[in-house]
Structure 1
């Protein structure tokens, strides 16, 4: 998996939820396409510096919502279900990624690091969810 997942241990959001949300987002914007094999639980846990149970819980949540499927032979792969497809507008995923790139550039110019940008975005999402 080329895309980077970042765990912020200083936020109130549990690590498994951060992993789950970030992978779901990568699927939604088309960065992870149907059939893409995700890293093993142990491998991703080691890369992120978290317990294997954390990644296993994230994968279980992704499976429950239809984003991934898991079986013994193939491991965990991005599902082909309706929920896991990129947006129907072919420009939508490019537009979202352009917005993310813009956010990163503006944040860098303002002297903000990645963790701060993630915290700001998470805070804004939480505000929107409570409205």
Structure 2
């Protein structure tokens, strides 16, 4: 459930964005789950529709959700990451950068190891 705390130092849009991101990353919002419409969520939270629209746009730019006219706003598949894997992923990224690998080279390296 998404809430907005009027006492928070964070603006409402950032609160909304951060909560949805956390729900997606934790897997509580599954792949292809439909988010409430901008108007519906704005009404539920008693904030301006532009505030929710901005949060959704930031989530879309981050690749966490996708927006389609008829389909609404949905969670992109593959966004829920096991929290336990993130430190190892960060370590791999750091090592790849130190080695001077491009993103494509790092992806190829990972893919080659994935196969076993």
TM-score, normalised to structure 1's length?
0.61
Q: 1:86 — aligned with what?
A: 81
Once the two structures are TM-superposed, the CA of residue 88 in structure 1 deviates from its matched residue by 7.4
Q: Does 1:26 align with 2:10?
A: no
SS for the counterpart of 1:11 is coil
* Structure 1: stretches of 5+ with no match in the other structure: 90-131
- Matched residue SS, 1:26: helix
Kindly tell me the number of residue pairs found equivalent between the two proteins.
Answer: 85
Which position in structure 2 is the counterpart of 1:66?
A: 63
Counterpart CA distance in 2 for 1:11 and 1:30 is 25
Q: Secondary structure at the match of 1:69?
A: strand
Q: Which runs of 5+ in 2 are unaligned?
A: 85-116
> Which one has a bigger Cα radius of gyration?
2
Runs of 4+ in 1 over 3 A off after TM superposition: none
Match of 1:10 among 7, 12, 21: 7
Q: Match for 1:53 among 50, 60, 66? A: 50
> TM-score by structure 2 length?
0.69
